[in-house]
């Protein structure tokens, strides 16, 4: 159960809707959020109406976001589907000015996260600090907690960006 704010794409009973890349991101201030409040986004990528890659991202203000769950369907792994999904996730986090992305990595997946995506293991002292600040952060037994800085958001034409993203 998640306490605090929730916002996201909600799955229907039959399938998760692949809506991330086609939806516009609505700008929302994360600066004034309290520490126990997070935003949840569910991401899916489909191919021929089959969900091939999915992930959940939780944003804890502008300091930390976590990717506690990510998967690619067997038979579609190693073909770049998750890379595309991951790029969309990073762009969203950059747009919200999130500084760091963290995730729990199983031992067999750790080389993929570190070698392919550039994540580094979180030092124990820093991990304890994260857990105190973001007490809702998900950890699993027999996993390593990894982190990676989120690159800055690049907006090429500010006027175009302002007209594309309605403020509510």
Q: Is 77 within the bounds of a domain? A: yes
Look up the domain containing 98 and give its range: 39-155
pLDDT digits (tens, 9 = 90+) for 2-57: 323 333 333 333 333 333 333 333 333 343 333 344 555 656 666 777 778 888 88
What pTM does this model have? 0.67
CA distance linking residue 103 with residue 60, whole number of Å: 13
Neighbours of 98 (CB within 10 A): 22
CA distance linking residue 65 with residue 162, whole number of Å: 24
Report the DSSP pairing between strands 39-47 and 64-72: unpaired
Q: Is 16 within the bounds of a domain? A: no
Number of domains in the chain: 1
Q: Are 51 and 85 in contact (CB under 8 A)?
A: no
Q: Is 98 within the bounds of a domain? A: yes
pLDDT digits (tens, 9 = 90+) for 87-127: 888 988 998 899 999 999 999 899 999 999 999 999 989 88
CATH of residue 112's domain is 3.40.630.30
């Amino acid at each position: 159960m998640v306490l605090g704010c929730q916002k996201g794409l909600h799955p229907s009973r039959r399938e998760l809707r692949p809506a991330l890349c086609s939806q516009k991101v609505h700008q929302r201030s994360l600066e004034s959020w309290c520490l126990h409040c997070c935003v949840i986004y569910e991401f899916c990528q489909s191919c021929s109406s089959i969900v091939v890659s999915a992930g959940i991202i939780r944003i804890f203000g502008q300091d930390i976001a976590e990717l506690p769950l990510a998967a690619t369907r067997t038979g579609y792994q190693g073909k770049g589907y998750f890379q595309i999904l991951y790029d969309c996730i990073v762009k969203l986090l950059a747009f919200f000015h999130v500084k760091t992305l963290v995730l729990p990595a199983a031992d067999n997946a750790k080389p993929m996260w570190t070698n392919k995506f550039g994540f580094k293991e979180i030092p124990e002292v820093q991990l304890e600090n994260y857990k105190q600040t973001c007490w809702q952060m998900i950890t699993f037994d027999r996993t390593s907690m990894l982190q990676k800085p989120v690159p800055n958001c690049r907006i090429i034409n500010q006027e175009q960006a302002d007209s594309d993203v309605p403020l509510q």
